[in-house]
Structure 1
Amino acid sequence: MADKWSQTALLVIDMQNDFILEDGLMKVNGGKAIVPNVIKAVDIARQRGILVVWVVREHDQQGRDVELFRRHLYSPGKAGPTSKGSVGAELVDGLVIKEGDYKLVKTRFSAFFATHLHSFLRTEGIKSLVITGVQTPNCIRQTVFDAVALDYQPVTVIVDATAAATPDIHAANIFDMKNIGVVTPALQEWCGSGA
């Protein structure tokens, strides 16, 4: 069974305290609800021998590497969202990086933008991706569109292990991704599938 999944990686995107917790500095309203499903997706991935890649945002405490539109959230003496070493940058409770997993730090929406993700995945022999995390219109969508452009096949987004600020925003973005050939199962369907 493990051989079947040896060319697949699960990307767990931005499941960090600042995005998930009620008092998170960048709280995504639908984020907390998907935590159990992301935990289950990670467990299933590990059982199948799928490489788990933890994609996280970590920023300079002064925000020097953050997008210009977010710079106002950082100031001297006060760490902004997902500042390196902060509690907000840590994975939410229940999600743990284990031996054999891989952690990738990004500073923009896409996990591929200005990172070594593509070369790492290719070196590992990865050809298909399964995506979980937050948030659908930003980091999920940008990563998915880049994955499609880079010819990963198939690209799968687990619809109930990803989330946005509202169900409508989530659904609209899932619809757009489906239209470019992205596979969009619910977690139960993905867990029961052989593909």
Structure 2
Amino acid sequence: MSYTSPNWKSSVLITIDTQNDFTLPNAPAEIKGTSDVLPKMQSVLEAYRTKGLPIIHVIRLYKEDGSNVDICRKELIEKGAKIAAPNTDGADLVSEIRSPSYASLDADKLLSGGFQSVGEQEWVMYKPRWGAFYNTDLEQFLRDRGIDTILFTGCNFPNCPRTSMYEASERDFRVAMAADCMSQVYEKGIQEMSNIGVHVCSLVDVLSAIE
């Protein structure tokens, strides 16, 4: 277990796709349950900010012409659905998880692979597919900062969080999952994550650990 146990002092908190269009009730692509976990996400974010630990918000951006959209949603966007479109309110992080110095997202910078600073030790980055490491510079960004542990929270466990956790495990990061700070979590998924060495925990566990 020593190879997989979190090193909280060298950890990063990652939120996945907690954007208005995926989170808010009756939003175009609402993921049920995401708005319900926002209070616990707020708590873990505030704890990381207080400790000066790094935070990365990973988001999706779907160009309205569909040119950067994954094939399972490409036709939908090409037919006019507007979901997390660049430079729209729908693409923004929900207000509950924004840092005090959060500003509008710089879609051009994000789409080109840049990390946008939105606070002290806090950034936003764009991922073009399910996993946060696919065709992004996330691994190097973390290695450059001596980060070896990733705590995942956010939107829709079966898709982007789960894929990102597998990718992180493949790269020998220590991986933790705050199960009550993530939507669409189910018991079999928790078992599957535990089976690959993911440290499945709760908000209370995280707050106690980083204290």
TM-score for both structures, normalised by structure 2: 0.83
Partner residue, 2:123: 102
Change beyond 3 A, Cα 1:108–1:62? same
Q: Is the 8 A contact 1:56 1:104 kept in 2?
A: yes
Q: How does 1:136-151 map to 2 (within 5 A)?
A: 136-151=157-172
Q: Please report how far the alpha carbon of residue 194 of structure 1 lies from its aligned counterpart in structure 2 after TM superposition.
A: 4.5
1:64 and 2:67 are equivalent in the alignment: yes
1:47 and 2:50 are equivalent in the alignment: yes
> Hey, which bits of structure 1, 4+ residues long, moved more than 6 A?
none
| Distance in structure 2 (CA, Å) of the matches to 1:25 and 1:72 | 15
| Distance in structure 1 (CA, Å) of the matches to 2:96 and 2:210 | 26
Q: Is the 8 A contact 1:73 1:81 kept in 2?
A: no
* Secondary structure at the counterpart of residue 38 of structure 1: helix
Q: Is the 8 A contact 2:8 2:209 kept in 1?
A: no
Q: Is the 8 A contact 1:136 1:162 kept in 2?
A: yes
Q: How does 1:84-95 map to 2 (within 5 A)?
A: 84-95=86-97
How many residues are paired up? 186
- Whichever residue aligns with residue 172 of structure 1, its letter is K
RMSD (Å) for aligned C-alpha atoms? 1.7
Q: Please report how far the alpha carbon of residue 16 of structure 1 lies from its aligned counterpart in structure 2 after TM superposition.
A: 0.4
* Superposed CA offset, 1:35-68 (max 9, x none): 0111111111112221000101112121210111
- Whichever residue aligns with residue 203 of structure 2, its letter is L
Partner residue, 1:36: 39
1:25 and 2:45 are equivalent in the alignment: no
Q: Please report how far the alpha carbon of residue 80 of structure 1 lies from its aligned counterpart in structure 2 after TM superposition.
A: 2.1
| Distance in structure 1 (CA, Å) of the matches to 2:53 and 2:210 | 13
Deviates more, 1:37-46 or 1:170-179: 170-179
- Whichever residue aligns with residue 129 of structure 2, its letter is R
> Structure 2 regions of 5+ residues with no counterpart?
1-6, 99-117
